[in-house]
Structure 1
Amino acid sequence: MRNAIDVHWPRSSRAPAHASSVILCLLSLVGALCGSASLDANGAYSSSTYPVIGSSACAAASPAGHVCNPSKILSKEGQDQVEATLSKLHESPKFPCGEEFHGFDFRVALLETIIGENVADFGRGTFNRWGIGHPSCNNGLLLVLARFDRQNYIVTGRGARAVLTDNHAADVLASIRPELRAGQYDAAIQKAVARVIDEALQHGQPPAFYQFDHAFIGLPCFVCRNPALSIVLGAIVSYMAVLATLKYRIVRRRVAFERKLKRLQDARVALGKRGADSRDGPCPICLEQLPQPPPQFAAQHTENGAELLHCGHVFHHACIDQWLRKGGQQAQACPVCRRRDARVPGALGSSAGEHSLSERADRFGRTERLDRMDRVVRVADASDGLHFAMQRLSEEFVDLPGVHRMRAALQAAGYAHDWVEVYYESVASHMREEAAEAAARAIEAHRAAEARGSGGW
């Protein structure tokens, strides 16, 4: 399979657009009446009737010529110059081709018009019929120009295609349009051949831009050729990317919220059954599980990554440390009960610590017995911490659909209901409201359309 580039150039005359079709039909009719010889005499060929390269019909400069010019589209001087250039290319430089080294085999086929097939089929058929390129690496190229059809075409073999990319070939053919419109066919063919050789074949690889273009499946060339359309498409793609990113973030946030909500609900159910304290539940700040088995705080206020405050609430040490530090002196209070000077200044086994704990136990009605031999610390109940965690969770994710409604419902019920169930009911209610609003807008738009279309006489 071979690549092909087809480029049309506009007519410079003001002849009717259907004139070429009429003339082509006349040529076909003449061919049917008088035989293929008449067609060939008028420069009309198919890939099967086009002369073989090097034959006298090609008017080649030598039997091993590279240019077939039966319709004399090129002048004698122009054809000789192109022949010399392509012969030199075939001899050098040479590149690896199987176990040998060979130069690129570049041929040119010129004619007036193509009959019985399109220019792509003509190019591929002629390429194969001539056997262009070395069999080991298929490094042939064929430039086709049909003057009357105003089409030109490049066919590349597999080996040459790696050096002359499709977009590079298209740019080369587009660059010779001014010469073709002016009827300067010598200059046009010489320019195309020179560009292909100097920019690609001479070096054995595509220019850097076309390597980059090939790596990005032709997008750079598309942008260069269609700047306005590229800007519009870029804006659309950017907008869609932003929407996709926002949707992905919302989905991630919803998944994170539902995971944390379920963890809180599970902890609430489990703690309610066995009457455990705040050491058994999640950290009220990060909502992650506290260290298990529950710390006893036998000798100090921090143990195994958890920290006990004066008021009896337990947090991850890192969480409460960051919480209390970020607000300075104004935030030195327990996040749950807002008690000031929440942190224990020293080890719980010290006299200052015991006095401070006993004093606060009497004040807040909590019992904390510290015994150096068999210490059992009874800390605050877990419900306050869970309620605080629920409040923080709903504040953090209040932008998600249904969370604000869930928060209001739980506060009104005193957090007595199943939190997960209330959340999903809130989400369903939110979706029903959105659907009702969309339906109402659709009905209103339909009525407005009917009103606009119901004009009188």
Structure 2
Amino acid sequence: MRRAEAPARVGPVAVLAFLYASLAVRASPSTPAWSSDTFPNPKLSPERCGRSVAGNVCDPDSVLDRASQDRLEGLIKDIAAGVDPYALHDCAGKQQGYTIGVAVAARMSTSSGESLPESARAFAQAVHDAWGVGDRACNDGLLVFLALEQRQVYVSTGAAAAKALPDSAVTATVAASLPLLRAGDTGGALSQLLVDLGLGLAGAPPPEPRDSWLGRILDFSGLGFLAVVAGALFRNAFKAHRRTRDLAACRAQLDAIRQEQAALRTREWSMPKTCPICLEGLREEGKRDDEEGDGEGGDGERGSGSRRESSSRGEDGGERNPRDQRRSPPGEDAQALLSSSSDKRKPMTL
């Protein structure tokens, strides 16, 4: 079938993400590569496509299980019938749904000098024509092609389908299915892709783009990269916490040492001290008083009596307390001072 408009092509971002994704490929390395000429037609050779009856899904390498193949067939029938939430469209004056075909291969053949995306595009367009997907009157068919081992996906659209579903919407729709493809859920990814294509043909907005910077990190590095980053951040945070804790402990110890030093300085300056020189002076004064008393004789008695009499009165002529009239000899005063000092401190040699 010849189409009036070139088919839509998935965007380069989605293609690269699928190329670098880690997929679980079920086909063996010895699986032959299919060309568009040798790839079977599910309407003419359903057995070669892994189906028991004619349909719209061909999986000759059994990439999908039987349940996934049946689910795809059911979705294609609902979209063609315009079952809600899908919609019909006008085709040459009549209302009908869009027709979708699904071709799944483990490997596709490539031409020399041709890139994998270019090979996928040529393969999908050739199979689209060979199967005759869509109505000739309005060219409203779509073909979804998946080459699993080579990590290529391509959506070929006819002219009417391309008007309802522009290239940007096809790119967003394919990108939305990539996470399931990376997880190894090929059947689930193709089912989601058909649902989003049917909704887009019915006028629904395309799926939310997942090509954010966070999405690219998840695409190329996976959760392992995030785990490494999270571990490094946790390690740095733990080290910073430990340094803060050790610094606080050191400051507390330093403050305690400073407080002890201040307390020691205070006790040192308030400690009483004894002056040996002062004690020596008191002893010499006591000796002189004893010698003078022995040399005076009788005059000394009178002098002593005169002193006692004069001392009994104060300078102002009043009577003094008899207790104050008693005076200890100078030697006794010095000895008393020595005894008092020796009770409090260690004996000292004068």
Q: TM-score, normalised by structure 2?
A: 0.49
Q: Kindly indicate whether structure 1 or structure 2 has the higher relative contact order, using CA contacts under 8 Å at least 6 residues apart.
A: 2
Give the alignment's TM-score, normalised by structure 1: 0.38
